[in-house]
Amino acid sequence: MSAAPVNGVPQTQAKSNLGESRYRAAFEQEESPMHQPSRHACRLPRQAAFCFTSCAALLSLGAARAADPAPPAATPQAVVDSMEAVFGPNAGKRRNHTKGLCAEGRFTTAPGAARYSRSLLFSGQPVPVQARFSLAGGRASAPDAARSPRGLALQFRLPGGALHQMAMLNVPVFSSAMPQSFFERLDADRPDPTTGKPDLARQKAVAERFTDNKALAAWMSQHRPPPSFANASYHGLHAFRFVNAQDQARWVKWHFVPRDGEKELSEDEIKAAPADFLAKALAERLQHGPVAWDMVLTLGEPGDPVNDPTRPWPAGRTEVTVGTLQVEHAGGSACEAINFDPLVLSDGVQAPPDDPVLAFRSPAYAVSWARRRAEAAQGQAASGQAPVGDAAKAASPRGEAATTKAVTR
């Protein structure tokens, strides 16, 4: 029996991704010989003093290791487990970006876009799009004014039926350069079974060990949430290799710039905002016509980092507009069966071979997708629901640290 398709693509056609075993090999710590006492230690009486000192030191070292075990390796399963522990149960729902809104529209190509990529995304024909706007984090009840990133995920159905997907945030850089730092920062927000709160000492230790979130933390400290999904730019975060029909290639990054302009809530508006307003704001805006974003490529230069989404490219790089996304309708649930794996790419767009975060996203998305689809099939989607609407403002802010405080630690 063949495996069930994911995102409408048979698994036999899916691009291979790095598996869990590779991540274990990359991140697990090996046992050091210094931690293994010699079988010859302490045999001779004339070495008794040395033996006593050495064995005491070994016992002390062993006790220290037992008290401070090495952190577990970041695997797709471990990351999803941590999201469930931090944010609480979300049976039948996404483990991250749980609160969201489906939308539909189309993408049209700008003149000259094909000079950069032979992808059918830039064929010149209008391309139907399934979209999902969201809030980062695993709380279905997250308030819409939360100081966390906003997401935009897109699935393009290309001429001939092939798919191309994007998963973007309204921030210019990511929080982590490696899956391990993302995992440990997230897992440090896991509530202690005794207190029900995260271990502050552990959070501090993780913050001291990993500093790759500093660029994002600085950006977040200078910006506030948008009043509407229509007033945010969305960034692809990772570098991709565009290849045209002549096999000419270059590295690019992309972001989608709103034609309605970028806007931010004021501090007073954040305090007064209801728990849920983003869906209503988008619906009201759509009454006046489609909402549009221009897809803008930033053209990389030699030496620009292509394997680290925490490092922005230098200012002043050439930018070109290659198309326009128009969102025409919002609502429904058509997007909820899609996992928006960002490695579902069309010919002419290639992922970097050594970006560990991008490679990790694909199997992590698959784990989350498989769990929620299994739960939905078993009728568990109604369990573990968090409060919604204004009631959410009085609910415990469980898990907020993973999407707001975590990026500033």
Alpha carbon separation from 107 to 21, 69, 252, 328 (Å, rounded):
38, 50, 19, 11
On whether residue 312 sits in a domain, the answer given is yes
- State the total domains in the chain: 1
- Domain limits at 241? 76-408
Q: Answer whether 132's CB lies under 8 Å from 100's CB.
A: yes
What CATH number corresponds to the domain at position 156?
A: 2.40.180.10
Q: Which amino acid is at 262?
A: E
Which amino acid makes up residue 294?
A: D
**Dihedral-angle region of residue 9 (phi above 0 means left; psi in -120 to 50 means alpha; beta otherwise):** beta
Is 359 inside a domain boundary?
A: yes
pLDDT digits (tens, 9 = 90+) for 273-299: 999 999 999 999 999 999 999 999 999
As a whole number of angstroms, the distance between CA 150 and CA 232 comes to: 8
Residue 215: both structure tokens together: 């660029």
User: Is residue 11 in a domain?
Assistant: no
pLDDT tens-digit map of 9-51: 444 333 333 333 333 333 333 333 333 333 333 333 444 443 4
- The span from the CA of 166 to the CA of 338, in Å, is 12
Q: Let me know if residue 293 belongs to a domain.
A: yes
Higher pLDDT, 347 or 397: 347
Domain presence at residue 370: yes
**For residue range 102-124, what is the model confidence (pLDDT) as tens digits?**
999 999 999 999 999 999 999 99
- Token pair 């064929």 is at which residue? 123
Between the CA of residue 119 and those of 40, 66, 113, 243, 352, what are the distances in Å? 66, 53, 10, 8, 17
Residue 404 lies in a domain: yes
Domain assignment present for residue 32? The answer is no
Please name which of 164, 349, 168, 151 lies closest in space to residue 252, comparing C-alpha atoms: 349
Catalytic positions, written as ranges: 97
Instruction: Tell me if the pTM is above 0.85.
Output: no
Distances (CA, A) of 218 to 28, 174, 184, 298, 407: 31, 12, 20, 22, 9
16 within domain boundaries: no
